[in-house]
Amino acid sequence: ELNSSSSTRGVKEIRIFEDSAPAVVYVETVTGHGTGVLVSNDGLIFTNSHVVDNAKKVYIYFMPKYAGKYSQDDYMTGMVVNNNKTADLALIKLTKNPVGVKPLSLAESSTIKIGQDVHAIGHPGGNAKWTYTRGYIGQILRNHEWGYDDGITRKAQMVIQSQTPIMGGNSGGPLLDDNGKVIGV
């Protein structure tokens, strides 16, 4: 019995990463970088507003097919079409639709529960691209306000507090449920 459970341990996490990571992008601007997620077949990408800052044009890198073959020449151009600094969300539209990349679906907010497992994929520290972490939801905050050191008061209808290891560079990346649906950014 011990052997059967240990041989299946991590199968869910591997599936979530393999199915979801191709839609997770590296977002680069003149002033910084972060993560984003492709959410439509017509090239729409969600990220955080603080990732794109005031940029109008950004560079988008999809996960390379071969590990270690990532190149700065392999980018697509995107235009920031919506930048809501108050909600800290931005929407990028690719100037050319990606080929062969399946966008991730958005989960219904009613499916998000305290205690459920969550998964994150992002680019922490700038060098660890397409890194997977997992955790759980600790709290759901409704009509929440917060701020950074920039003087802008942020507001959102729902903020998910999770115990998921993330750091600089993960900003804008998807928080996923066990079905690989996006529950948060």
94-142 pLDDT tens trace = 999 888 899 999 999 999 999 999 999 999 986 789 999 999 999 999 9
Q: What span, in angstroms and rounded, lies between the C-alpha atoms of 71 and 122?
A: 17
Of all helices (H) and strands (E), which one includes residue 4? helix 2-8
Neighbours of 65 (CB within 10 A): 8
Q: If you search the block for the tokens 């409704």, which residue do you land on?
A: 142
Please, what is the average pLDDT of the chain?
90
Q: Which of 83, 87, 133, 141 is nearest to 109 (CA)?
A: 141
Q: Catalytic positions, please?
A: 50, 88, 171
CA dist 75 and 41 (Å) reads: 18
Q: What is the per-residue pLDDT across 57-99, written as a single tens digit (0 to 9) for each?
A: 999 999 987 666 666 667 899 999 999 999 999 999 999 988 8
- Work out whether the CA dihedral 162, 166, 168, 173 comes out positive or negative: negative
Question: DSSP code of 180?
Answer: S
163 burial level (CB within 10 Å; 0-12, 13-18, 19+): exposed
pLDDT greater at residue 39 or residue 149: 39
Q: Do 170 and 35 meet the contact criterion of CB atoms below 8 Å apart?
A: yes
Q: What is the dihedral of CA 61, 183, 162, 160, to 10 degrees?
A: 120
Question: What tokens were used for 65?
Answer: 């097919």
Fill in the DSSP letter of residue 100.
Answer: S
Structural Rg of the chain based on CA atoms: 16
Q: Is the pLDDT of residue 10 over 70?
A: yes
Work out the angle at residue 100's Cα, subtended by the Cα atoms of residues 95 and 101, and round it to the nearest 5 degrees.
70
Instruction: Choose the weakest-confidence range: 2-16, 106-120, 146-160, 165-179.
Output: 2-16
Which pLDDT value is given to residue 150?
82
In 3D space, the residue among 121, 120, 42 whose CA is nearest the CA of residue 78 turns out to be 42
